[in-house]
Amino acid sequence: MPAKTLAAAVLAATLGTMTMNATAAPSVPPDSRLSADNPFARESTLPYKWPPLDKIQNSHYVPALEAGMAEQRAEVAAIASNNAEPTFENTIVALERSGQLLNRAATIFFALSSSNTNPDIEKAQTEMAPKLSAHSDSIYLDPALFARVKRLYEQRQSLKLDPESLRLLERYHTNFVRAGANLSEAQKKELRALNEKISSITTEFRQLVLKGDNAAAIVIDDRAELDGLSDAQIATAAEAAKSRGLEGKWVLTLLNTTGQPALAQLKNRSVRERLYKASIGRGWGGEFATTKAIAEIVKLRADRAKLLGYPNHAAYVLEDETALTADAVNSMLHQLAPAAVANAKREAADMQKLIDEQAKANGTPSFKLEAWDWDFYAEQVRAKKFAYDEAQVRPYFEMNRVLVDGVLFAAQELYGLKFKERKDLPVYQEDVRVFEVFDHDGAQLGMFLFDPYARSNKRGGAWMNSFVEQSRLFGNKPVVTNTLNIPKPPAGQPTLLTWDEVITAFHEFGHALHGLFSDVQYPQFAGTSVPRDFVEYPSQYNEMWATEPRVLANYAKHHQTGAAMPKELMDKVLAAQKFNQGYATTEYLAAAILDQSYHQLAPGKTPSAGEIAAFEADALKAAQIDFGPVPPRYRSTYFLHIFSNPIGYSAGYYAYIWSEVLARDTEHWFKTHGGLKRENGDLLRAKVLSKGFSADALTIFRDFYGKAPEIGPLLEARGLTGGAEATAN
Which of the stretches 3-11, 137-145, 479-487, 663-671 binds Zn ion when contact is defined by CB under 5 A?
A: 3-11
Minimum CB distance to Zn ion, residue 507 (Å): 6
For Zn ion, the closer of residues 338 and 461 by Cβ is 461
Minimum CB distance to Zn ion, residue 379 (Å): 27
Q: Can 185 be counted among the known catalytic residues?
A: no
Minimum CB distance to Zn ion, residue 538 (Å): 9
- Asked if 293 and 205 touch (Cβ cutoff 8 Å), the reply is yes
- Asked if 281 and 657 touch (Cβ cutoff 8 Å), the reply is no
* Beta pairing class for 418-422 and 250-252: unpaired
For Zn ion, the closer of residues 11 and 640 by Cβ is 11
Minimum CB distance to Zn ion, residue 371 (Å): 29
- Asked if 648 and 595 touch (Cβ cutoff 8 Å), the reply is no
Residue nearest to Zn ion (CB): 5
Which of the stretches 196-204, 214-222, 533-541, 544-552 binds Zn ion when contact is defined by CB under 5 A?
A: 533-541
- The residue among 634, 9, 595, 635 whose CA lies nearest residue 301 is 595
Beta carbons within 8 Å of 293's beta carbon, 6+ residues apart: 201, 202, 204, 205, 208, 643
Minimum CB distance to Zn ion, residue 9 (Å): 8
What gap in Å lies between CA 381 and CA 384, rounded to an integer? 5
What gap in Å lies between CA 78 and CA 714, rounded to an integer? 51
Q: Rule CB under 5 A: is residue 21 a binding residue for Zn ion? A: no
Which of the stretches 83-91, 431-439, 537-545, 588-596 binds Zn ion when contact is defined by CB under 5 A?
A: 537-545
Minimum CB distance to Zn ion, residue 656 (Å): 9
In degrees, rounded to 5, the angle at the alpha carbon of residue 113 between the alpha carbons of residues 111 and 34 is 80
Minimum CB distance to Zn ion, residue 4 (Å): 6
Minimum CB distance to Zn ion, residue 536 (Å): 5
For Zn ion, the closer of residues 135 and 532 by Cβ is 532
Which of the stretches 62-70, 186-194, 530-538, 574-582 binds Zn ion when contact is defined by CB under 5 A?
A: 530-538
Which of the stretches 4-12, 186-194, 517-525, 681-689 binds Zn ion when contact is defined by CB under 5 A?
A: 4-12
What gap in Å lies between CA 57 and CA 108, rounded to an integer? 11
What gap in Å lies between CA 257 and CA 607, rounded to an integer? 23
Three-class secondary structure assignment of 558-586: CCCCCCECCHHHHHHHHHHCCCCHHHHHH
For Zn ion, the closer of residues 8 and 591 by Cβ is 8
For Zn ion, the closer of residues 142 and 536 by Cβ is 536
Minimum CB distance to Zn ion, residue 8 (Å): 5
For Zn ion, the closer of residues 536 and 595 by Cβ is 536
φ/ψ (deg, to 5) at 121: -65, -40
For Zn ion, the closer of residues 377 and 534 by Cβ is 534
Amino acid letter, residue 509? F
- The residue among 110, 165, 30 whose CA lies nearest residue 472 is 165
What gap in Å lies between CA 367 and CA 355, rounded to an integer? 7
For Zn ion, the closer of residues 291 and 659 by Cβ is 659
For Zn ion, the closer of residues 116 and 539 by Cβ is 539
Minimum CB distance to Zn ion, residue 236 (Å): 30
Phi-psi region of 207 (alpha: psi -120 to 50; beta: other; left: phi over 0): alpha
Binders of Zn ion in range 551-570 (CB under 5 A): none
* Beta pairing class for 463-468 and 433-438: unpaired
Q: Which of 347, 508, 536, 543 is catalytic?
A: 508
Minimum CB distance to Zn ion, residue 499 (Å): 17
Judged by DSSP in three states, 500 sits in: helix
Binders of Zn ion in range 583-602 (CB under 5 A): none
For residues 35-45, b (16+ Cβ closer than 10 Å) or e, as one string?
Answer: eeebbbbbbbe
- The residue among 326, 398, 369 whose CA lies nearest residue 598 is 326
Which of the stretches 84-92, 219-227, 238-246, 532-540 binds Zn ion when contact is defined by CB under 5 A?
A: 532-540
| Interface characters, 216-255, with Zn ion (x: CB under 5 A) | ----------------------------------------
Among 1, 5, 298, 315, binds Zn ion (CB under 5 A): 5
For Zn ion, the closer of residues 5 and 114 by Cβ is 5
For Zn ion, the closer of residues 376 and 541 by Cβ is 541
Question: Under rule CB under 5 A, how many of the chain's residues touch Zn ion?
Answer: 3
In angstroms, the Cα distances linking 40 to 27, 130, 460, 522 are 15, 21, 28, 22
- Asked if 113 and 122 touch (Cβ cutoff 8 Å), the reply is yes
Beta carbons within 8 Å of 135's beta carbon, 6+ residues apart: 18, 69, 72, 73
Amino acid letter, residue 13? A
Which of the stretches 5-13, 262-270, 387-395, 447-455 binds Zn ion when contact is defined by CB under 5 A?
A: 5-13
Q: Rule CB under 5 A: is residue 539 a binding residue for Zn ion? A: yes
What gap in Å lies between CA 467 and CA 425, rounded to an integer? 13
H/E stretch holding 450 reads: strand 444-453
Q: Rule CB under 5 A: is residue 504 a binding residue for Zn ion? A: no
In angstroms, the Cα distances linking 140 to 73, 111, 192, 422, 709 are 12, 25, 12, 42, 34
Please identify every residue annotated as catalytic.
Answer: 508
Where on the chain is the footprint of Zn ion (CB under 5 A)? 5, 536, 539
